[in-house]
Structure 1
Amino acid sequence: MGGVQLYTRSAGEGLPVVLLHAFPLSSAMWLAQREGLADVCKVITPDLRGFGGSVLGEDEPSLDVMADDVARLLDREGIDRAVVGGLSMGGYVTMTLCRRHPDRLLGVILADTKASADPEEARSGRERIADDVLREGTSVLVEKVLPGLLGRTTLERRAMVSGRVRGLVQAAHPVAVAWAQRAMAARPDSFDTLRALDAPVLVIVGEEDEIAPVAVADAMAEAAPDGRLAVIEKAGHLSAIEQPEAFNRAVSAFVAELGGGSPRR
């Protein structure tokens, strides 16, 4: 198959766990997971197309394209089935992979994301941001996207975390940002996909997430036949960055449940 080859980092051995990053960040957001989970599983963190070290390519904006990229990544790594998860946009790509490549899944992790499609107002907002960032650059993201990514505890008490996230946002390429916004705007509702899943599902959410709040996460966990919910205290939309130890404990316990090792305490 053709398509973009994703730039990938990995750490550890054992059960493969693929983690897909949030918009508009890169796989650099998973540093604490690569370090903290390396003795529990093999953590694979690709840059989705256009972000970090991956090129964008010529395809039209589509989460289907991004999910197929991940399937090709598994082929390239010689992995038949893996635990695949993602945060925010990475969750959208994960649910698309569930729909298009369900045979590749040992388990699913959905963090701070939504199974519902965007309403018209949200789609229009994404298009406005896409247009604005192409015209004005990533300063638009700092103003319009960054404030909602972090929880109130992080904004009040964790200046270093806020600064790191700001740097990751500013590093995004405007063309990739616009492409991804349009891909996300066109995504379908994924609740039927969740209901049809054979694989176990872990839904993680920051208790202070205002973009994809706890009630949304709970509905997703309820929709999956074998779903469970983990709420991360004092974290917002980027729970893996804001509270990495708690996030890693939830993933470690899930991997252990799947038979991939002992949970981290």
Structure 2
Amino acid sequence: MRVALGVSYRGWAYHGWQSQADRQTVQDVLEKGLSQFTARPIQTVCAGRTDTGVHGLNQVVHLDCEVERDLSSWVRGTNCHLPKDIAVQWAMFPRADFHARFDARGRRYSYVLLESVVRPSMEAGAVGWTYRKLDGDLMREAAALLIGEHDFSAFRSSECQAKSPVKTMRTIEIEKYGDYWRFDFDGSAFLHHMIRNLMGSFLAVGRGAKPVEWFAEVLARGERRFAAPTFPPDGLYFTGPYYDAEDGIPTHTAAMDWLPGYRKNREGA
């Protein structure tokens, strides 16, 4: 049968999602735990690969397995074989041809940034950091330039394997909650390092080092060398993909509730 799982993970101990020879990736650890739970070799397909240090709150994967287990067992049983920083959040039996990657209608990421003269300590590795004051209105003006279909080559890693740099950005929301900024991105798909490269350029505009017009010029030029340096992965969260409503794939996990502003956004308060 085909099984779909929602997986959350803290990314700082792993070399990203995708399986690698050193076996220290989220996919490798998850598949090892699933194989131990089912006593069968298990391979998974994910909705979106994340990079080294990036966190996942609702990574959706699918797998095929001839072993029958109830849904609660897929969650609790698998979690018994996983480390504390990776956990299956939910399980469901989707339609037989459901595909975690190809059926996704879009993907969402959030970046959480601390604005403070003092670096983070308790939340080290879980948030980005800037000690400079940021202007939210300027960053929102820059963000508006990205909405729609664009060639995002200027914000693409040289290691990116995507067939096309043209992606559709549906929304970007930028809000501040106390000393924490939250950047929410919703798009058709994202290039390698795309959000981290965008974050570097947002901060250049937000602190006044570059004008909003510079952001438009960088996008139009389409060359990575004209954009700001890549920002650290610490505060970047893959909040998950979304699908047609009839597929019934969950878009919320408990891990999302502690992100700054999440409850407000979710309830429309």
Fold conserved between structures, TM > 0.5: no
Scaled by the length of structure 2, what TM-score is found? 0.27
User: By percentage of residues, which structure has more strand?
Assistant: 2
User: By percentage of residues, which structure has more helix?
Assistant: 1
Scaled by the length of structure 1, what TM-score is found? 0.27
